[in-house]
Homo-oligomer: A and B are copies of this chain.
């Protein structure tokens, strides 16, 4: 047990190096500007609200440690920087299903964003019902006289999917508790309902726009 704590502390110390913190600040700042402009372009194009919320997080030492173990990798921060794609995560929540793909297209068109992986958990949700579009991208960090490419995971989802995922997140922390299994099944069934709702709302919006 003591070793776990020590290893996590080691990761925390390496993350507290100024340079890592500044790199993260830089990347999150630049992407926030790009997403804001994309949002304003979509408002002008679609004549309605599109992006509802943008949030950012840096993966915690605890969470890095756990993920490295799950992947059977040494829990070293230097290795994590190489192997994990989601040390920096950005979440974009939008209103409608087609907004998700429109935002993704606009991100992919940016000359200085390189998409290295795309996972569509909307077309094919995770086993537990989780839905979102994930882009793993690389963006250049020009902080001093050198340029480094850094990976970021961008999650794009509708408000309905985001609502669902709040319960999934709460359940995650009660994984092995008695009763969790049954609740998990019910939560999964709601995921289908959320998907159906998103489809119906989208169709109705299209009809309103066409009358």
Identify the A interface with B (CB < 8 A). Answer: 18, 22, 25-26, 29-30, 32-34, 36-37, 40-41, 44, 48-49, 52-53, 95, 106, 109-113, 140, 142-147, 159-160, 162-164, 166-167, 170-171, 174, 177-180, 183, 186-187, 190, 193-194, 197, 200-201, 204-205, 207-209, 211
Contacts and interface: CB of A to CB of B under 8 A. Distances in A.
Contact of A183 (B44, B183, B204): B204
Among the interface residues A113, A143, A180, which one has the most CB atoms of the partner chain B within 10 A? Answer: A143
A110 B174 contact: no
A146 to B, nearest CB: 7
Contacts of A49: 166
Contacts of A41: 22, 143
Nearest to A160: B163
Contacts of A110: 142-145
Contacts of A36: 25, 29
Q: Is the interface of A mostly helix, strand, loop or mixed?
A: helix
A97 to B, nearest CB: 12
Given A159-B163, A174-B211, 5 more contacts: A25-B36, A26-B37, A33-B33, A110-B143, A111-B147
B143 A37 contact: yes
Given A37-B143, A95-B163, A111-B146, A170 B209 contact: yes
A194 B41 CA distance: 30
B201 A190 contact: yes
Contact of A106 (B113, B144, B183): B144
Contacts of A113: 142
A53 B170 CA distance: 20
Contact of A145 (B34, B109, B211): B109
A22 B40 contact: yes
Among the interface residues A22, A36, A170, A211, which one has the most CB atoms of the partner chain B within 10 A? Answer: A211
B112 A142 contact: yes
